[in-house]
Amino acid sequence: MSKIILERNICIGCGSCQAVCPKNWEMGDDAKINLLGSAKKEDEKYELEVSDLACNQEAADICPVQCIHIEK
């Protein structure tokens, strides 16, 4: 299992992650991204465990502020 971690407070709402991986990323009403199906862990950190990273590694790589992290 891999873990996707979103530091939402760092997000600038550019939408790059949603563009490359729309099945897991969605823009919120506050113009910051949401990691669909994730659980809030602390402050503005959200985590989601996945068996297949699919396009999420690309989403992490393309993020201009590096608010998406992948733990393998």
User: Which residues fall within 8 angstroms of residue 43, CB to CB, at 6 or more apart?
Assistant: 9
pLDDT of residue 63: 98
CA separation for the pair 32, 47 (Å, rounded)? 16
φ/ψ of 11, rounded to 5, equals: -55, 135
Domains along the chain with CATH numbers: 2-71 (3.30.70.20)
User: Which residues fall within 8 angstroms of residue 1, CB to CB, at 6 or more apart?
Assistant: 49, 50, 51
- For the segment 4-53, what is each residue's pLDDT rounded down to a tens digit? 999 999 999 999 999 999 999 999 999 999 999 999 998 899 999 999 99
CA separation for the pair 48, 2 (Å, rounded)? 8
φ/ψ of 17, rounded to 5, equals: -65, -40
